[in-house]
Amino acid sequence: MLAADLLAVVTSIALMVGVVVTPLGELRVLAIVIGLPFVLLVPGYALVSAVFPRSGELTPDSETGPSWLGRLGGSVAGSGIAIAVVGGLLDFTVWGFERTAILAGLSVFALVATTIAWYRRRQLPTADQAGFDLDSIRSYTRTVVFGESAVSVVLTLVVILAAAGAVGVVADESTESGSVVELYILGQDDSGELTAGSYPSNVTVGDSITTGIGVGTSRSPFDGRVVTRLERVTVDGETVTVSESQELDRIDIRVPAGETTVTRHTVQPSMAGERLRLTYRLYRNGSNSALRQAHVWITVEPR
């Protein structure tokens, strides 16, 4: 049986998935009220629970029992790690760093971490297992109210609220700045159909490369453009440096509210090289800042 804290994590995941896959996700206030605490705390708490299954491992000094402050603070840091991991993995997929994909990825991350936490706790004696029940919550509340740890709790909550405010500002600006929720690239298979994963890997200079550019919007119509470039890049750890860039085409994109369009597009690269980056950047009309970016890696042989 799951401890109360792990059960709360699973319940939060189910609630988040329910919001993402239903029209409730289009309600901005509801999406922020539910999504913000989820992103800020839930994946991180699941990660901390998986790494520290024993009670008191994050307790300051030599205290025993549930380490509320340590786990609460660790949850914020852990969520940052989870977002970085999920975002890095999604960068190599057709979905990219998109809201629904990020939330789905964080949900899977939290569920896997919760399963690991449950398993690791089961290997320990019951008295040593981390977790919270109603009695421990009541006891800790009395300690906070009447003990010397109240200041520590207040300071921890201030830090968490400040972090939540910062994330909220970013989320609010992101929601305001554009309703485009996805940009993805499809490849053309042998039958001429556009499918995910059918990207060309080796071509020759002058050969035609046909892809499908998918753009979806959630709340309002979108008018903009996609700029396609072939880039020679150097990757050093997490640093990507573009040493040569060739613009291949610009495509006007118009998407009605709440719909997705796929535009068939053909380019002919004239720059040869190994592991070149064919990049698609989505811009709103009147803006020079890309809203979304997607890319595929190809090798172009000289003719």
> Domains (ranges, CATH) in the chain?
4-177 (no CATH), 180-301 (2.60.40.640)
pLDDT in tens, 57-101: 655 544 444 456 677 778 888 888 888 888 878 766 656 666 777
> Other C-beta atoms within 10 Å of 166: how many?
11
pLDDT category of residue 148 using cuts at 50, 70 and 90: very low
Please state the pTM of the whole predicted model.
Answer: 0.49
Q: H/E/C letters for each residue in the chain?
A: CCCHHHHHHHHHHHHHHHHHCCHHHHCHHHHHHHHHHHHHHHHHHHHHHHHCCECCCCCCCCCCCCCHHHHHHHHHHHHHHHHHHHHHHHCCCCCCCCHHHHHHHHHHHHHHHHHHHHHHHHCCCHHHECCCCHHHHHHHHHHHHHCCCHHHHHHHHHHHHHHHHHHHHHHHHHHHHCCEEEEEEEEECCCCCEECCCCCCEEECCCCEEEEEEEEECCCCEEEEEEEEEEEEEEECCEEEEEEEEEEEEEEEEECCCCEEEEEEEECCCCCEEEEEEEEEEEECCCCCCCEEEEEEEEEECC
pLDDT higher for 274 or 4?
Answer: 274
* For residue 12, pLDDT beyond 80: yes
Write down the pLDDT at residue 154. 54
* For residue 24, pLDDT beyond 50: yes
Write down the pLDDT at residue 111. 92
Write down the pLDDT at residue 141. 52
Strand order in the sheet with 180-188: 194-195, 180-188, 209-217, 260-267
Residue among 25, 40, 48 at smallest CA distance from 166: 40
Residue 299, beta-bridge partner list: 202
* For residue 279, pLDDT beyond 70: yes
Write down the pLDDT at residue 149. 52
Supply the mean pLDDT for the chain: 78
* For residue 189, pLDDT beyond 60: yes
pLDDT category of residue 283 using cuts at 50, 70 and 90: very high
Write down the pLDDT at residue 173. 42
Write down the pLDDT at residue 230. 92
pLDDT higher for 185 or 140?
Answer: 185
pLDDT higher for 26 or 198?
Answer: 198
Work out the average pLDDT over 14-26: 77
pLDDT in tens, 217-263: 876 788 999 999 999 988 887 787 889 999 999 999 998 888 889 99
Write down the pLDDT at residue 177. 44
